[in-house]
Copies of this chain bind each other. A is one copy, B any other.
């Protein structure tokens, strides 16, 4: 059979409906015929199930429609994995916004109106506005045309760690850290604040974030108070310090203990249920703090997600803007 490209869809005439839509889930019916997206038509051409579109085979059709090569690779891969897909076109699926395809649950098709994943397609050279994800799977096609699927969610961040600490300590602000020479044991032992300088010894090293939070809580006394600590933070990090401090406080308030994620290239690793430093479990999340309007490259996201997976943690982005934190998680998906 042959198709004709009209108004951005490929129409296939009499019997097209039965052959392509009813039996194999391509396109949408138009009378006895079928309307195919260009990507679907390319897939049928590639499989040899459609002879030509306006006289063109797959190679010539892609040259004329080079903008669909990347979505075609994603469509093909998901089809090869045994899924039916619907192009996310107005009138074809319920919520087409922000997606290229809707993947139907395994064994179901466009007739069922069910949705397993909404898929957004990106090349590795594209960009991802992190605030706009959370309900889509990112299908990233790298420069060698290999595919990576990244599932995004909007996680609930909550834990059971104690949110207050009943103690007081004095500290000295030294460059970009605070030293407490005689800290109460609860500070590190129960609250998991700071890092002891020696195992036996009491001296405790606090980050500027920890110190600012503790000073705000009335636990830590430093010359100049919380203002001095925050001013130092802004000196060494600029606005990034305020973003990170808000994320830090929000985590602490929700019963989640943030500790430095430096060794993982992140802002924080977090512990949801700290009962004391002696019985510390595995940290669950890696958190990267970014401005709310941050745009990431798929490569940076892939790096974060791969690393988090390798250390059995979940990668979470804390998007800070207007005094609030929004959370996005990203993880590898094998469809």
On A, residues with C-beta under 8 Å from B are 59, 62-63, 66-67, 69-70, 73, 76, 123-125, 140, 142-146, 148, 172, 174-177, 179, 181, 194-195, 197, 205-210, 236-237, 259-260, 262-266, 298-300, 302-304, 306-307, 310-311
Contacts and interface: CB of A to CB of B under 8 A. Distances in A.
Contacts of A194: 144
16 contacts: A59-B172, A62-B174, A62-B179, A66-B175, A123-B176, A124-B262, A143-B207, A144-B194, A144-B205, A144-B262, A145-B195, A148-B262, A264-B302, A264-B306, A265-B299, A266-B303
B62 A148 contact: no
Contacts of A67: 175
Nearest to A124: B262
A261 to B, nearest CB: 9
A70 B174 CA distance: 9
Given A144-B210, A264-B303, A310-B310, 10 more contacts: A62-B172, A62-B174, A63-B172, A67-B175, A69-B177, A125-B237, A143-B262, A145-B207, A303-B303, A306-B307
Contacts of A265: 299-300, 302-304, 306-307
Nearest to A209: B143
A59 B194 CA distance: 17
